[in-house]
Homo-oligomer: A and B are copies of this chain.
Amino acid sequence: MLRTVNCNELTKKDVDKQVTLCGWVNKVRNLGSLVFIDLRDTYGMTQINIDPTIFEKTPLHMEDCVQVKGVVKLKDVPNPHLKTGEIEVVCTELKVFAHSQTTPFTIDDDTNASEDTRLKYRYLDLRRPLMQKYLKTRHKILKVVRNYLEKLDFNEICTPTLVKSTPEGARDYLVPSRIYKGQFYALPQSPQIYKQLLMISGFDKYYQIALCYRDEDQRADRQPEFVQIDCEMSFVHRDDVLKVIEGMLKKVFKEILNVKLPKFKLVKYTDAINKYGTDKPDLRFGMEILDLTKYFKDSSFEAYKGKTVRGIIVKNYASNVSRKMMDLDNELVKKNKLYGVSHIKVENNDLTGGVSKFITEESKAKIIENLHLESNDLLILGADKNKELLSTNLGLLRLKYGDLLGLRHKDVFAPCFVVDWPLFEKKEDGSYECLSNPFTRPRDEDLKLLETKPEKIFSYSYDTVLNGVELSSGALRIYDGHVQEKVFNILGFSKEDIERKFGFFIDSFNYGTPPMGGFGLGLERLCMILNETDNVRDVVAFPKNLNAYCPMAKCPSKVDTEAVDILGLQIKDEYK
């Protein structure tokens, strides 16, 4: 090695040692009679004391990459903030590997460079200790996950990334074939079919840190390519899979954050929607949505008649809520197609404001008693015939007031599994869509509904949700070819569609498919939580921007005509 020690190693027990260090000049302090530089590598920082005569011959600037030979000496004034703060290295020999121009932004955690500049000079952005920490955490997560799954005897198997395009779900990235001109591979959106085939092959337990791709219009938390921790197991009950997920995440949080996650709660999909207004409930706090319909049965209030009435209680907050806040609440729900909400305050054992005047005295008393309301509590109500719409809106207000009350602590982790999802959603035109993927197994007791009321079928689906964020989704899979065909039929696929898109997969059902289940867990999302960042680009070494463009490599880019030609393609529409 060109060094004998890293920049984080030396302490006072190394005094008088001859050492060689390599790294980047983080700072230069030229005091005239003395020159100090902070030498930085990925491990830490060491102060170098350079004689001005040496420095004159080899002047240094920030971000120069250098080798320093010297002797370890005690510092007059130790720096208690640095591991190496007790010593400095008195330079005897200095070599510059490569000088640096002035960098377009300072290599410091606290940067005001625009994200585009940071992406353009990503190799400099990644020098910032925070970015190094982000990517090292990502590495650590992978390490913990792998060790965990290896211990459970999962086999890591690579599935192909040049696959068949199936126009289900999101848009595929296509890869033109040169040999079969006019034909295409697709980059996989997930290894779903292949991992199921591996179970059919008998591999029993599979995992892969799988590259997945989606050509979607970008959202802040999506990248064109992303990584999925992907598992599948044969001969399992649902809870066997949940145990693997729970154990894995507990391990990860323990090793990375030293946090002991609590036992994962089981929340039924319907309960999640009813109580939290979302399939991704934030369980760090209560404030559950309550059904209050019965209290309005006898009300004279026309607007609530024949509707479901639901509400949330914001404890001890009535005096804080202003006219403006109420207006904002109404704006929020109106955007989401709810007519409005009503804010009722609890004062002197009475309900005041909002729609309270339409509530009978008797009902008021019951509400106060049954809901254990106390003075200064705020009750936010809404009514609609569409229960889900109503709950969704109250769910949004629940989160808003959860934030306002400081109930969504960033150090509290409340994981749960959302289970028992409907298999299909019936659209207004009478057609069916699946809520997860078409391979999801209906509950045994609901199989009979396949012929009659598919929208009533629940499935063996499960999502892992942490603090309102979906971390993984998975399900037990169909292993009966007839059920699989039936599901495809309900989804409106013709026999030809099925044959063309899933022919080989349907065939595989003819040769003894085992019961199986698995999950996919988004690495970037997990990594964002563990790094406490909400920018997915922070946890990807060389990300694309929101237009799926890389400002550094300037890609995508034009290619030689010949390269397009050889694929049997022609460009007919060009981005200007």
Give chain A's interface residues, CB within 8 Å of chain B: 1-3, 22-25, 40-43, 63-65, 67, 97-101, 103, 120-124, 126-127, 132, 135-136, 138-139, 142-143, 146, 150, 155-165, 167, 171-187, 194, 197-198, 200-204, 211, 213, 215, 224-225, 227, 234-237, 240, 479-481, 503-504, 508-515, 540-544, 547-550, 552-560, 563-564, 566-575
Tell me, rounded to whole Å, the shortest Cβ–Cβ distance linking A109 to chain B.
14
| Assembly CA distance A40 to B203 (angstroms) | 11
Task: Write out the residue numbers on chain B whose beta carbons fall within 8 Å of the beta carbon of A235.
Answer: 1-3, 22, 67
Tell me, rounded to whole Å, the shortest Cβ–Cβ distance linking A173 to chain B.
5
Q: A97-B515, A574-B182 are in contact. Are A158 and B202 (CB under 8 A)?
A: no
Task: Write out the residue numbers on chain B whose beta carbons fall within 8 Å of the beta carbon of A136.
Answer: 155
Q: A42-B204, A135-B157, A479-B98 are in contact. Are A572 and B573 (CB under 8 A)?
A: no
Task: Write out the residue numbers on chain B whose beta carbons fall within 8 Å of the beta carbon of A540.
Answer: 158
| Assembly CA distance A338 to B178 (angstroms) | 36
**6 nearest A-B pairs in the assembled complex, by CB-CB distance:** A568-B573, A126-B201, A65-B512, A182-B574, A164-B555, A177-B556
Q: A41-B202, A198-B541 are in contact. Are A557 and B511 (CB under 8 A)?
A: no
Q: Are B187 and A175 in contact (CB under 8 A)?
A: yes
Which of the residues B64, B173, B550, B571 comes within 8 Å of A175, measured between beta carbons? B173
Closest to A6 in B: B204
Task: Write out the residue numbers on chain B whose beta carbons fall within 8 Å of the beta carbon of A135.
Answer: 155, 157, 203
Q: Are B174 and A541 in contact (CB under 8 A)?
A: no
Q: Are A98 and B514 in contact (CB under 8 A)?
A: yes
Closest to A552 in B: B504
A-B contact pairs, 16 of them (CB 8 A): A24-B202, A24-B512, A63-B511, A98-B512, A98-B514, A123-B197, A126-B202, A127-B202, A163-B550, A163-B553, A171-B566, A174-B559, A181-B573, A183-B558, A568-B573, A569-B572
Q: A235-B3, A549-B180 are in contact. Are A541 and B163 (CB under 8 A)?
A: no
Task: Write out the residue numbers on chain B whose beta carbons fall within 8 Å of the beta carbon of A103.
Answer: 511
Q: A101-B511, A514-B65 are in contact. Are A183 and B126 (CB under 8 A)?
A: no
Which of the residues B100, B160, B182 comes within 8 Å of A542, measured between beta carbons? B160
Q: Are B1 and A237 in contact (CB under 8 A)?
A: yes
Q: Are B97 and A503 in contact (CB under 8 A)?
A: no
| Assembly CA distance A120 to B97 (angstroms) | 55
Tell me, rounded to whole Å, the shortest Cβ–Cβ distance linking A151 to chain B.
11
Task: Write out the residue numbers on chain B whose beta carbons fall within 8 Å of the beta carbon of A184.
Answer: 556-559, 563-564
- How many copies the complex holds: the figure is 2
Tell me, rounded to whole Å, the shortest Cβ–Cβ distance linking A70 to chain B.
16
| Assembly CA distance A77 to B503 (angstroms) | 45
Which of the residues B132, B183, B198 comes within 8 Å of A556, measured between beta carbons? B183
Q: Are A139 and B127 in contact (CB under 8 A)?
A: no
Closest to A154 in B: B139
Task: Write out the residue numbers on chain B whose beta carbons fall within 8 Å of the beta carbon of A182.
Answer: 558, 571, 573-575
Q: A555-B185, A575-B181 are in contact. Are A203 and B132 (CB under 8 A)?
A: yes
Q: Are B132 and A143 in contact (CB under 8 A)?
A: no
Q: A24-B512, A164-B555, A180-B549 are in contact. Are A157 and B174 (CB under 8 A)?
A: no
| Assembly CA distance A138 to B136 (angstroms) | 26
Task: Write out the residue numbers on chain B whose beta carbons fall within 8 Å of the beta carbon of A42.
Answer: 202-204
| Assembly CA distance A556 to B567 (angstroms) | 13
Closest to A167 in B: B560
Closest to A160 in B: B542
Closest to A548 in B: B179
Closest to A129 in B: B202
| Assembly CA distance A142 to B224 (angstroms) | 27
Tell me, rounded to whole Å, the shortest Cβ–Cβ distance linking A484 to chain B.
11
Q: Are B215 and A178 in contact (CB under 8 A)?
A: yes
Tell me, rounded to whole Å, the shortest Cβ–Cβ distance linking A84 to chain B.
17
| Assembly CA distance A574 to B123 (angstroms) | 42
| Assembly CA distance A224 to B177 (angstroms) | 11
Task: Write out the residue numbers on chain B whose beta carbons fall within 8 Å of the beta carbon of A2.
Answer: 235-237, 515
Q: A541-B158, A553-B504 are in contact. Are A200 and B142 (CB under 8 A)?
A: no
Q: A100-B510, A163-B555 are in contact. Are A178 and B185 (CB under 8 A)?
A: no
Task: Write out the residue numbers on chain B whose beta carbons fall within 8 Å of the beta carbon of A549.
Answer: 179-180
Q: A202-B42, A559-B184 are in contact. Are A569 and B571 (CB under 8 A)?
A: yes
Q: A97-B514, A100-B511 are in contact. Are A541 and B194 (CB under 8 A)?
A: yes
Task: Write out the residue numbers on chain B whose beta carbons fall within 8 Å of the beta carbon of A513.
Answer: 65, 97-98
Q: Are A22 and B173 in contact (CB under 8 A)?
A: no
Task: Write out the residue numbers on chain B whose beta carbons fall within 8 Å of the beta carbon of A553.
Answer: 163-164, 504
Task: Write out the residue numbers on chain B whose beta carbons fall within 8 Å of the beta carbon of A570.
Answer: 569-572
